Amino acid sequence: MPPALLFLIVFIEGFCSLGAEVIALRQIIPHQGSSIVVTAPTIGFFLLALALGYHAGAQVATDYLKIVARNFLLAACLIGGGLSGVAVDLIFTLLQPALLAYLIFVAGVVCPAAWLLGQTVPILSNLLQHQRVGEASGRALFYSTLGSFLGSLVLSLVVMQWLGVSAAVALCALLLLTGFLVLRGGARSALAAALAGALLTGTANLWLRPEIETAYASYLVKPVAYADALNGRAFINNSSVASLIDDADPPQYARYIRHIRSILLEELGLRERQILVLGAGGFTLSHREPLNHYTYVDIDPAVRAIAEKHFLREKARGDFIADDARRFVARSEQRFAAVVVDVYSSHVAIPGHLVTREFWLATRRVIEPDGLLIANLILDSALATPYARNLLATIEQAYGRCAVEVLQKKQALANVVVTCRNGQPAAAAQVFIDELNTADLDLARSR
């Protein structure tokens, strides 16, 4: 085989191996979120499997092309089938707890694919015998790493953005099947195997996957029954219900949306004011609400068109800005009467950089001096877990005392609406005790 073809095979390996890692990180977001405690182990396990693949490839002494071709075929099936949305959803649905499903997914799909592809460079370096060992391995690693570089950029910034995650999965699988055919020289058995792999990939990623996929989320609109709803439908974002709407007049929205609307329109009486919504959801907060002007900020540039076409079935009210919420509040010069934070990437996962004290302090700079922050959180209804207690404490360190309302007190997980004023934070609180009870004095000072 000419060296140029060998380097092409190595390039495909680099493109698809890192592509598989990028896709795996994207596919587990609906189930595990995107926090560092999920992404770091996933990357670590992937690199460990890759290292073991290098070691295994170094032990191969014969049948170089045949072994690499077999590895490409198996990796194509693992990526095309195992990384498809339907397979990932199935793993996390059937296996509980979620940690077990995650480990099965990583150990059964991600690591084997990395191990198989990791063998490519050390095996094919044996076929470049007319070159010095350092030159052969260096050139092979160059093309492999170049493939990894382009794979990460092309898949995340081009394919996922314009065609969706399923297309990225299919592209990786089809590239590996192409490399398999090149290595096998177009034999009939190879053509049959490649056709079977392509059929598996197409079935798993095109036919069985009903969601609308982007680089950031998977969306689905489906019928749902809830209180007083007429032909209710749910906007599913990363396997979680993001918004509800129906055909009644006026429509019945999700309970937390109705509650936030009540705060803005009835309790505060806001009229002709600017309201910022971080996290678009289904754009229901401003739906048929002409009294104020809404600006939505969401990291997914496709979410508005998807919501308008499939969920609202009409044009969404307000402006839309495709940007990261933290970056927007840090840079915007506009001020708003109220900021609504609803930034979940899945049912219980807020991106880690949107829960810190620095983020909540940044939101203050875009709120008018006496404006309001309203945050929709999904926490345990008793507010007893470390996450709930620490998140509420973080918000109050930035804003001072806030109102905390648990909307579904009988459920394990509930919408918790936190409302904070943007005035000067209150002084540190003191506890009333029998020995030194300043309650009467404090009451007098508060009038």
> In this predicted model, what pLDDT tens digit does every residue of 91-115 receive, in sequence order?
988 998 888 999 999 999 999 999 9
CA–CA dist 136, 159 (Å, integer): 32
**Which of the two residues, 158 and 440, has the higher pLDDT score?**
158
Per-residue pLDDT band for 393 (boundaries 50, 70, 90) equals: very high
Q: Averaging pLDDT over each range in 190-199, 216-225, 330-339, 350-359, which range is the top one?
A: 330-339
| Residue range of the domain that includes 159 | 3-213
Q: How many CB atoms lie within 10 A of CB 149?
A: 13
Per-residue pLDDT band for 348 (boundaries 50, 70, 90) equals: low
Looking at 182, 213, 244, the residue that finishes a domain is 213
Are 98 and 31 contacting, i.e. CB atoms less than 8 angstroms apart? yes
Per-residue pLDDT band for 404 (boundaries 50, 70, 90) equals: very high
pLDDT of 133 higher than 90: no
150 and 234 within one domain: no
Peptide bond into 250 cis (omega under 30): yes
Could you tell me which of 343, 279, 281, 347 has the C-alpha nearest to residue 98?
A: 347
92 and 19 within one domain: yes
Are 135 and 65 contacting, i.e. CB atoms less than 8 angstroms apart? no
DSSP class of residue 130?
T
Does 436 reside within a domain?
Answer: no
Does 434 reside within a domain?
Answer: no
Are 352 and 292 contacting, i.e. CB atoms less than 8 angstroms apart? no
392 and 327 within one domain: yes
230 and 196 within one domain: no
Does 435 reside within a domain?
Answer: no
242 and 146 within one domain: no
269 and 167 within one domain: no
The rounded mean pLDDT for the chain is 90
pLDDT digits (tens, 9 = 90+) for 282-310: 999 999 999 999 999 999 999 999 999 99
pLDDT given at position 206: 73
Question: What average pLDDT does the segment 433-437 reach?
Answer: 81
Q: Which residue(s) pair with 223 in the sheet? A: 233
The total of structural domains in the chain comes to 2
For the domain that residue 176 is a member of, what is the CATH number?
1.20.1250
Least confident of 1-5, 242-246, 352-356: 1-5
pLDDT given at position 311: 94
pLDDT given at position 59: 93
Question: What average pLDDT does the segment 405-412 reach?
Answer: 92
Question: What average pLDDT does the segment 423-441 reach?
Answer: 77
Are 176 and 75 contacting, i.e. CB atoms less than 8 angstroms apart? yes
Does 281 reside within a domain?
Answer: yes
Cα dist from 348 to 42, 216, 266, 411, whole Å: 20, 16, 29, 14
Per-position b or e across 277-291, b if 16+ CB within 10 A of its CB: bbbbbbbbbbbebee
Are 71 and 193 contacting, i.e. CB atoms less than 8 angstroms apart? no
Are 169 and 19 contacting, i.e. CB atoms less than 8 angstroms apart? no
What is the Rg, in whole angstroms, of the alpha carbon atoms belonging to the chain?
Answer: 27
pLDDT of 120 higher than 90: yes
Per-residue pLDDT band for 4 (boundaries 50, 70, 90) equals: confident
What's phi and psi for 289, nearest 5 deg?
-120, 95
pLDDT given at position 2: 82
Does 442 reside within a domain?
Answer: no
pLDDT of 427 higher than 80: no
pLDDT given at position 415: 92
Does 447 reside within a domain?
Answer: no
**CA 415 and chain centroid, separation:** 20
283 and 329 within one domain: yes
76 and 195 within one domain: yes
Does 8 reside within a domain?
Answer: yes
Question: What average pLDDT does the segment 45-67 reach?
Answer: 94
pLDDT of 22 higher than 80: yes
225 and 149 within one domain: no
pLDDT given at position 208: 54
Looking at 213, 236, 260, the residue that finishes a domain is 213
Does 241 reside within a domain?
Answer: yes
pLDDT of 73 higher than 70: yes
With H, G, I as helix, E, B as strand and everything else as coil, classify residue 337: strand
pLDDT digits (tens, 9 = 90+) for 201-230: 888 887 655 667 787 888 889 999 988 889
Angle, CA 160 vertex, CA 157 and CA 28 arms, to 5°: 110
169 and 85 within one domain: yes
pLDDT given at position 131: 63
229 and 207 within one domain: no
**Which of the two residues, 321 and 428, has the higher pLDDT score?**
321
pLDDT given at position 373: 96
pLDDT digits (tens, 9 = 90+) for 252-270: 999 999 999 999 999 999 9
147 and 115 within one domain: yes
Looking at 192, 213, 234, the residue that finishes a domain is 213
pLDDT given at position 293: 97
**Contacts of 262 by beta carbon, 8 Å cutoff, 6+ apart:** none
With H, G, I as helix, E, B as strand and everything else as coil, classify residue 417: strand
